[in-house]
Structure formats: structure tokens, C-alpha cells
């Protein structure tokens, strides 16, 4: 399944606050999510957002709407990722 990526305003603010080279690397990993959530992705249990992408020392938390395994968000939509990043020490 191919996903459309949408950044939440807080995610945009977070990505602007980190080193440009690191931000480019993270965005590259996020871009790879467009194709069947490719990358170092883990599904979280009993937690919203439902997924976590590992990008070096950062973790990108995201929701996937309209995933093949079922409708994870309770809304029907085209494949869409809503992203929020955080640094993991």
C-alpha cells in the first residue's frame, strides 16, 4: 500500500529545531514509509500514535490511516501518515 505523508504542525516545528543534516536523514527515513511502511517500524500496543520509526537517535511516532491490516484510526481514508518526532537517548 502506498501512503500519503502529512506532517502535524508540531512535527514541522520539531524538524526545524534539529541539525539540518540530521533532519535530512530523518526525512529520508520518513519518505521510505510511503511504500508499505518500509523501515525500522514497530507497532506500539495500547499507545497512540500506533507506530514508531527508528531514525538514529530519534524516534518518529506516527499514525497510519487506512492500513491494509484494518482501519487503525477509526476513519476511512486513503493511506495517510500523521507524524510527530522525538529524540530518544
pLDDT digit string, tens, across residues 43-76: 888 888 888 888 888 888 888 876 544 333 333 3
- For residue 33, pLDDT over 60 is answered with yes
Q: Which domain holds residue 35?
A: 4-87
pLDDT at 37 (0 to 100): 85
pLDDT at 63 (0 to 100): 84
Q: Domain total for the chain?
A: 1
**Which of 24, 45, 27, 70 lies closest to 79 in space, CA to CA?**
70
Beta strands in 1-89 (DSSP E): 4-7, 41-43, 51-55, 58-65, 80-87
Average pLDDT, the chain: 74
**CA 23 – CA 20 distance, rounded (Å):** 5
Task: Say which CATH number the domain at 44 has.
Answer: 3.30.2310.20
pLDDT at 66 (0 to 100): 66
Amino acid at each position: 500500500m502506498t501512503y500519503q505523508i502529512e506532517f502535524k504542525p508540531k512535527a514541522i516545528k520539531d524538524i526545524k529545531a534539529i541539525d539540518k543534516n540530521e533532519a535530512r536523514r530523518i526525512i529520508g527515513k520518513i519518505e521510505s514509509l510511503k511504500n508499505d511502511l518500509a523501515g525500522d517500524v514497530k507497532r506500539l500496543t495500547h499507545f497512540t500514535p500506533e507506530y514508531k520509526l527508528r531514525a538514529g537517535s530519534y524516534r518518529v511516532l506516527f499514525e497510519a490511516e487506512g492500513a491494509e491490516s484494518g482501519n487503525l484510526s477509526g476513519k476511512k481514508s486513503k493511506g495517510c501518515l500523521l507524524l510527530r518526532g522525538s529524540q530518544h537517548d
